[in-house]
Amino acid sequence: MRALWHWVRGLRKAVDDGDVGSAITRVIVPGAVQGGLKSRYAELTAEQHIHRVGLPIETLTNLEWPAHKQTQSDMRSIAGQSQEWAGLLTFTFNRRIEALEEIHTRLLGVEYSLAVPLGDRIDSTLMAPFTTDADANHVTNNLTRLLSLSPEDHDVISAAIQMHYSACLLSTRETNAAYALLVGALELLSKRFGTTSSAWDDWSESSRWEGTFRKGKLNDDQKSRMRKALLADNKHRNLKRRFVDYALSSIPLEFWSEPIQDWSHEFDASAGTITGGHWEKERPRFIAEPTETIIRNALSGAYQARSSFVHEGRRTVDLVTEMSIQVKPDEAPRLPFRATRDALRFLISAELERASPTFNMPNVIRA
């Protein structure tokens, strides 16, 4: 738990400096909770009971912990700490405790702290109002094409669609897991539809190893065995390369600069509620002037971010990073969340378009 580890270091300094403040976020706990729970370093205080469709009654609860005054308003620090506090509390109490993506702020003229929601900002289009003026025939077309696929292709594309769905559900609560699902779905498509060379000469490290062979004065048989062993040991690199090559070759370069719009919710400070929203001005999906090198590096970074989260628990997908990528996309450590999801939808659609809609759907007439 890196965020809490850094928090403890900061708290120790705050105690030494006499500069201890407090950080606060909100979590949702199951049941109709009254009162609260207080430990030395974290305090839970029930705020209000809530009812979400399909779930039993829950309680919106304040989670407060001591923090250095210099970091108590640091959005990235608080977000990371709140997620790890929720994870620790869930593990400790064997209950589902859900941290909300929000910041607490005090606006001018308002005496109390306001919880400003941020969960939708990572990919705001998902939370834009649903409209009924879309062409419903697209639903039938996609379904027919999906059912017309070979069993192998059908299973892969169906899985990718469901992984996209799961990522959308997680996007407002657990962005790193959601991002991992998006990248995982892209990798699934690349395994089925992508190709990559397994030849020694196509491996980026081959020339370096050839130099090592020469220095070691290996004979031809020894070189051959070493080449086979090295290629076998680098299956992960081959998977990553196929992932990058598939997306790079299947998605036109101009896709990354296409204009898109973000949805912005309007917030009523006096009531502490979201009241409406509007579409913001257009911006490039990722970067105004994409190059193959920039996109390749961003795709490689996306794969690495997924692997770091799944295998090491490292959290690299947050709102602050997403905002910095928008400011300096040419220095992006990875693809932004929205562009990654758009790329997945593009590739799923492209694979579906290759299928001839031959499946005979039942002729149902709806009144």
The predicted model gives 309-336 an average pLDDT of: 90
Residue where a domain stops, chosen among 62, 85, 100: 100
The predicted model gives 231-251 an average pLDDT of: 82
- Mean pLDDT is highest, among 102-116, 136-150, 216-230, 292-306, for 292-306
The answer to whether residues 131 and 210 belong to one domain is yes
Residue 108 lies in a domain: no
pLDDT of the residue at 364: 78
Which stretch of 94-98, 200-204, 315-319, 331-335 has the lowest confidence by average pLDDT?
200-204
| Distance set, CA 222 to CA 58, 116, 205, 213 (Å) | 66, 64, 18, 9
Model confidence pLDDT, tens digit, residues 204-220: 677 788 889 888 888 98
The answer to whether residues 75 and 206 belong to one domain is no
| Distance set, CA 56 to CA 30, 63, 86, 298 (Å) | 7, 21, 19, 42
Q: Residue 105 corresponds to which tokens in the numbers above?
A: 């702020």
The answer to whether residues 266 and 313 belong to one domain is yes
Residue where a domain stops, chosen among 84, 100, 116: 100
Residue 232 lies in a domain: yes
140 pLDDT exceeds 60? yes
pLDDT of the residue at 367: 62
Model confidence pLDDT, tens digit, residues 265-320: 887 766 666 778 899 999 999 999 999 999 999 999 999 999 999 999 898 998 88
pLDDT of the residue at 232: 72
Residue 364 lies in a domain: no
DSSP assignment letter at 272: T
Residue 365 lies in a domain: no
The answer to whether residues 156 and 90 belong to one domain is no
- Residues above pLDDT 70, as percent of the chain: 91
The answer to whether residues 206 and 314 belong to one domain is yes
pLDDT of the residue at 267: 75
> In the structure, what pLDDT confidence band is assigned to residue 110 with cuts at 50, 70 and 90?
low
pLDDT of the residue at 173: 86
Looking at every residue in the chain, the average pLDDT score rounds to 87
85 pLDDT exceeds 80? yes
The answer to whether residues 70 and 168 belong to one domain is no
Residue 50 lies in a domain: yes
pLDDT of the residue at 113: 64
The answer to whether residues 153 and 249 belong to one domain is yes
Residue 367 lies in a domain: no
> In the structure, what pLDDT confidence band is assigned to residue 72 with cuts at 50, 70 and 90?
low
The predicted model gives 144-165 an average pLDDT of: 94
The predicted model gives 47-57 an average pLDDT of: 92
The answer to whether residues 171 and 295 belong to one domain is yes
Which stretch of 153-157, 168-172, 204-208 has the lowest confidence by average pLDDT?
204-208
User: Residue 346: CB partners within 8 Å, gap ≥ 6?
Assistant: 251, 255
Residue where a domain stops, chosen among 85, 100, 115: 100
Q: Distance between CA 274 and CA 235 in Å, rounded?
A: 48
The answer to whether residues 71 and 170 belong to one domain is no
- What's the structural domain count of the chain? 2
Backbone phi, psi, residue 267, to 5°: -115, 125
Say how many residues make up the chain: 367
The answer to whether residues 135 and 246 belong to one domain is yes
Q: Distance between CA 111 and CA 105 in Å, rounded?
A: 10
The answer to whether residues 72 and 198 belong to one domain is no
The dihedral over CA atoms of 203, 206, 208, 210, expressed in degrees to the nearest 10, equals: -170
Return the SS3 of 329: helix
> In the structure, what pLDDT confidence band is assigned to residue 343 with cuts at 50, 70 and 90?
very high
Q: Distance between CA 300 and CA 308 in Å, rounded?
A: 12
Residue 358 lies in a domain: no
pLDDT of the residue at 305: 95
DSSP 78-121: HHHHHHHHHHHHHHHHTS--EE--EEEE--TT--S-EEEE-GGG
CA quadruple 96, 97, 102, 107: dihedral sign: positive
Residue 255 lies in a domain: yes
pLDDT of the residue at 236: 57
pLDDT of the residue at 78: 82
Question: Regarding beta strands 273-279 and 114-117, do their DSSP bridges make them parallel or antiparallel, or are they unpaired?
Answer: unpaired
Whole-model pTM: value is 0.82
Q: Residue 347 corresponds to which tokens in the numbers above?
A: 């590739």
178 pLDDT exceeds 60? yes
Range of the domain at 13: 2-100
Q: Which amino acid is at 365?
A: I
The answer to whether residues 189 and 65 belong to one domain is no
